[in-house]
Amino acid sequence: MVLAESLSLAMLCVVLVGAVIRPFRLPEAVFAVPAAAVVIVAGVIPLADVRDEAEQLGPVIGFLAAVLVLAKLCDDEGLFHACGTWMARWSAGRPSRLLGAVFALASAITAVLSLDATVVLLTPVVFATAAHMGARPRPHVYACTHLSNTASLLLPVSNLTNLLAFTASGLSFTRFGALMALPWLVAIGVEYLVFRRFFATDLSAAAPGPGTAEPPELPLFALVTVAGTLAGFALTSTLGIDPAWAAAAGALVMAVRALARRDTTPAAVVRAAGLPFLAFVLALGIVVRAVVDNGLADALGHVLPDGTSLPALLGTAALAAVLANVINNLPAVLVLVPLAAPSGPGAVLAVLLGVNIGPNLTYAGSLATLLWRRIVHHHEHDVRLKEFTRLGLLTVPAALALSTVALWGALRLIGS
């Protein structure tokens, strides 16, 4: 038992360190897949449990692949370029208005197209928009990473952590969104107020560059497809069909059109699905299952609060936030959701508040933050650890506490 626990923990460390450091820019799967193979071959996790984990994660992985393809093809259609142009026009040369535009767009994009779209596709657009305006990029670029986590609370499709918890919650797509709407708005509101104060000097600086741009040509086909896909999520959930089918339909519509017009290639569509990352998610799930089954579940079970009273929800959210910053939010949600599920949907949603808001405190809290850091460095922009941490200390506790109170209120108004 001790040997199995030690080996599974060691393999989890290998996976997380590899994901954080990524030596030689190797994909995360290069470390995760061999680690999963080790725990399987060593007998730390039975093959039956491996099959169960694969069956549980299969629809989630398929959903994630479809959303990644949909987001990339929307980018190819010019959706994110149009967003940048709209931000520049709306801002009219005022950095404070640009921050509001970034908050609005990043929140919407994260909620509908997932946090990966905000980090990978919107962050470079924000850099370009700030440069066009002559504004200091710091507050707007930091907003992208914070909102990729915080604004991913709203829908099951907004974050991989949400997808992992969605089935366990027992909620429909629309009920999930209804319960998380108020916590989502509260958390974003707290972030915005802190950002306005924290970056007051940057936001008050004059923007010498041009503040206007030509009206963007809206990619109507992409917008209609995204809207139809979002409606499909709600419909399939109501009918008891896995929402992955709606995501697949949206991605297929975009892919067929792009291929027919020769705007992309089959190889590019496959690359957009992020197959190495999907392999990483599956392997990580297997390794975490091994850790959970060999002692971690028992240890956390003693400290995880029971029920959905306000103190219990606050304790659950806080524990989830701490665990996310210690072992990353994906392993944290895989560990905590099965433990919280017996207390009902409210407890599962409190876990999501912790694992989605909490990662804004440290670089290692979420893979999205790590990816954002690489993108920022690629644009030769300095990210200071002290500044990142200080901003996290000002936003995370307040956003987490107030959004948990909002969740408690929503559970009593709407019911779970």
Burial class (CB in 10 A: 0-12, 13-18, 19+), 125: buried
Task: State the chain's mean pLDDT as an integer.
Answer: 88
Buried b / exposed e along 80-105 (16+ C-beta atoms within 10 A): bbbbbbbbbebbebbbebbbbbbbbb
Q: Which DSSP symbol is given to 296? A: I
Mean pLDDT of 253-276: 93
Question: Which token pair is 188?
Answer: 């974003």
- Cα 174 to Cα 82, 234, 235, 414, distances in angstroms: 29, 6, 9, 12
Distant-in-sequence, close-in-space partners of 2: CB < 8 Å, separation ≥ 6: none
Distance in angstroms between the alpha carbons of the first and the last residue of the chain? 38
At 90, the pLDDT band (50, 70, 90 cuts) reads: confident
Percent of the chain with pLDDT over 90: 47
Question: Which token pair is 45?
Answer: 């996790």
Q: How do the residues of the chain divide into helix, strand and coil, expressed in percent and rounded to 5?
A: 80, 0, 20
Mean pLDDT of 367-374: 78
- Specify the higher pLDDT residue, 403 or 301: 403
pLDDT tens readout for residues 302-360: 899 999 999 999 999 999 999 998 888 888 898 899 999 999 999 999 999 999 999 99
